[in-house]
Amino acid sequence: MSDATVTTPAPGHEPFDAVDIIRTKRDRQRLSSGQIDWVIDAYTRGVVAEEQMSALAMAIFLNGMSRGEIERWTGAMIASGERLDYASLGVPTADKHSTGGVGDKITLPLAPLVAAFGVAVPQLSGRGLGHTGGTLDKLESIPGWRAGLSNAEVHDQLASVGAVVCAAGDGLAPADKKLYALRDVTSTVESIPLIASSIMSKKIAEGTGALVLDVKVGSGAFMKDLDTARELARTMVDLGADAGVTTVALLTDMATPLGLTAGNALEVRESVEVLAGGGPSDVVDLTVALAVEMLAAAGRPTGEDEVRAALADGRAMDRWRRMIAAQGGDVDAPLPTARATEQVVADADGVLARLDAYGVGVAAWRLGAGRARREDPVQAAAGVELHAKPGDVVTAGQPILTLHTDTPERFARAYEALEGAWEVAPPGTAVARGPVVLDRIH
């Protein structure tokens, strides 16, 4: 990746003007390296106003960026803060990033599973927003567990346990943190250059040696179709390669929720089932597929059978217990349960033909599992439990979903989100179940 180190100019002597940079991208011209370095640095310092960066983000959203521009933009965001280094651990490091989905609890079993094979996992994760869940919100449903660790604590836990899942520190790509919040309120989130640079600036700055990307595709994901998902995956893989980080992407299905739960404590409970050698097959299959990729990218290639064995024989569970305890979590404490539940039942005999991830995700969000604004609280016990997946035979009156919440007045809005989100086909209808992994980009 290009060296985007910026020298802060003296007050009143800025080398560029924000209006000129906005005009350049508005007119579909390429931004120079100097313009990019300056505008990221100046925005972080408060010299470029929020409305100016909003205009530039919209110009990028509408007109795109070249590979060179995206590389430089990513480098400038990395240069806005610190860059971590785990070379002193003496073991390879690997991380995974998901672009977000419904029921996506894969990080929870994956990090300890990979650590069980001697590869350290520095997993810096985020919180949920809207219909997609957040890993930190899920883990915070475990009594005592804390997300905020210092860099020294992260390093020590990696050395002693081999895995850590925590919040990114304020010093890591601060420009991205500021820009991400702006994109969220200016309808510029779904821009491939801005998504790719946002994700990769944090992941490269965190210091991992290898990175596996889980790019979700389908109704419950940001990327609704394979072509767009491939473009995003290719952009991020190229950014990783340019920065010297071995990077691979898997495109995975998000038309239907992953597993049988969407919500915080509900997903932790399901993740523990996977670590105990059970759990839904789609969650297990994706966890294993990502673990195999992470181990190979870190230079520790391991066969799928051996990875599955580590779930069955307790090696991954042992790492999980140590990882949670190291961050203050009580692994044996009961998880929160909702004060109120209601069931959605099948309206006819037949085969469940469709269960839309987006509808389920919005329902879980409205029940209290997610947030509309970053400062909103979440309910640990809220969410949606699935009793059937597409292809399953159902009978009239059989529960399809159970809704969980501490605030029963939320049920009505959750039911609205589920209108048209599921469908029962006539008995005997063949409903194909596709693979979880749709493609691989490297």
Query: What are the tens digits of pLDDT across the range 150-182?
Result: 999 999 999 999 999 999 888 889 999 899 888
Domain at 24, CATH number: 1.20.970.10
| Residue 415 falls inside a structural domain | yes
DSSP string, 37-88: HHHHHHHHHT-S-HHHHHHHHHHHHHH---HHHHHHHHHHHHHTS-----GG
Instruction: Check residues 132 and 187 and name the one with the higher pLDDT.
Output: 187
Residue 370 lies in a domain: yes
**What's residue 180's pLDDT?**
84
**What is the pTM assigned to this prediction?**
0.92
CATH number at residue 105: 3.40.1030.10
* pLDDT single digits (tens) 198-249: 999 999 999 999 999 999 999 999 889 999 999 999 999 999 999 999 999 9
**Residue 374 belongs to a domain:** yes
Is residue 57 in some structural domain? yes
Domain match, 72 and 93 both = no
Residue 214, in any domain of the structure: yes
Quick: pLDDT tens for 374-407: 677 899 999 999 999 999 999 999 999 999 999 9
Indicate whether 182 and 292 sit together in one domain: yes
Residue 262 parent element (H or E): strand 261-263
Same domain, 317 and 383: no
Check whether residue 159 and residue 277 sit in a common domain.
yes
Last residue of one domain, picked from the residues 79, 95, 116: 79
Q: Based on the fold, state whether residues 69 and 95 are members of the same structural domain.
A: no
For residues 91 and 75, state if they share a domain: no
Active site residue 376: no
Phi then psi for residue 402, to 5 deg, are -120, 130
The pLDDT score that the predictor gives to residue 5 is: 52
Condensed to tens digits (0 to 9), the pLDDT of residues 262-313 reads 999 999 999 999 999 999 999 999 999 999 999 999 999 999 999 999 999 9
Structure tokens at 433: 């179940």
| Enclosing domain of residue 54 | 18-79
Q: From the candidates 72, 97, 203, 230, which is the catalytic residue? A: 97
| Active-site residue, 198 included | yes
- Residue 187 — pLDDT band, cuts 50, 70, 90? confident
Which residue out of 105, 127, 177, 202 is catalytically annotated? 202
Report the CATH number at residue 375. Answer: 3.90.1170.30
Rounded to an integer, what distance in angstroms lies between the CA atom of residue 48 and that of residue 241? Answer: 31
Known catalytic membership, residue 67: no
Q: Report yes or no on 148 lying in a domain.
A: yes
Catalytic residue among 105, 138, 183, 321: 183
| Same structural domain, 99 and 48 | no
- Let me know if residue 97 belongs to a domain: yes
4 within 8 A of 79, measured Cβ to Cβ: yes
* Confidence (pLDDT) at 222: 84
The fraction of the chain above a pLDDT of 70, given in percent, is: 96
Q: Which residue in the list 176, 214, 242, 282 is annotated as catalytic? A: 176
Q: Is 247 strand, coil or helix?
A: strand
For the chain, the C-alpha Rg in angstroms (whole number) is 22
Statement to judge: residues 408 and 288 lie in one domain: no
**For the segment 400-437, what is each residue's pLDDT rounded down to a tens digit?**
999 999 999 999 999 999 999 999 999 999 998 889 99
On the question of pLDDT at 3 being above 60, the answer is no
Same domain, 388 and 353: yes
How many domains are there within the chain?
3
What pLDDT score does 9 carry? 57
Contact of 256 with 104, CB cutoff 8 Å: no
* Domain presence at residue 10: no
Mean pLDDT value across residues 128-148: 88
Residues 274, 136: one domain? yes
12 pLDDT above the threshold of 70? no
Q: What whole-number distance in Å separates Cα of residue 420 and Cα of residue 110?
A: 33
Please give the pLDDT value at position 32: 97
Final residue before a domain boundary, out of 59, 79, 99: 79
Phi, psi values for residue 187, rounded to 5°: 55, 40
Does residue 264 share a domain with residue 132?
Answer: yes
Report the pLDDT value the prediction gives residue 110, as an integer from 0 to 100: 98
Kindly report, residue by residue over 354-371, the tens digit of the pLDDT. Answer: 999 999 999 999 999 987
Shared-domain flag, residues 38 and 101? no
Determine which one of 98, 141, 198, 271 is catalytic. Answer: 198
